[in-house]
Amino acid sequence: MNNFIQYIKDSFEELNTNMTWVSREEAQKSTVVVAAFTIVFALAVAGIDWVFQTGLDNFFKRF
């Protein structure tokens, strides 16, 4: 148990002293880029799904 507590303490020290954090503005810009890409990707997947669904519906209506 003592090793675990020491690990947690060392982890916090590492985060506070040795990590380089991006600025708030850069983090916000990155978040906007990721959100925009996610929306575009979701719309692309929905479009492909619609094309396949429509194609399959038309295919099975013929039989």
Q: Which residue has the higher pLDDT, 39 or 62?
A: 39
pLDDT at 2 > cutoff 90: no
> CA-CA distance, 3 to 58, in Å (whole number)?
64
Q: How far apart are the first and last CA of the chain?
A: 67
pLDDT at 21 > cutoff 90: no
The domain of 9 spans 2-61
Q: Which amino acid is at 1?
A: M
State pTM to two decimals.
0.63
Domain count within the chain: 1
Rg of the chain, C-alpha, whole Å? 24
pLDDT at 8 > cutoff 90: yes
Residue 30 near residue 22, CB atoms below 8 Å: yes
> CA-CA distance, 20 to 34, in Å (whole number)?
21
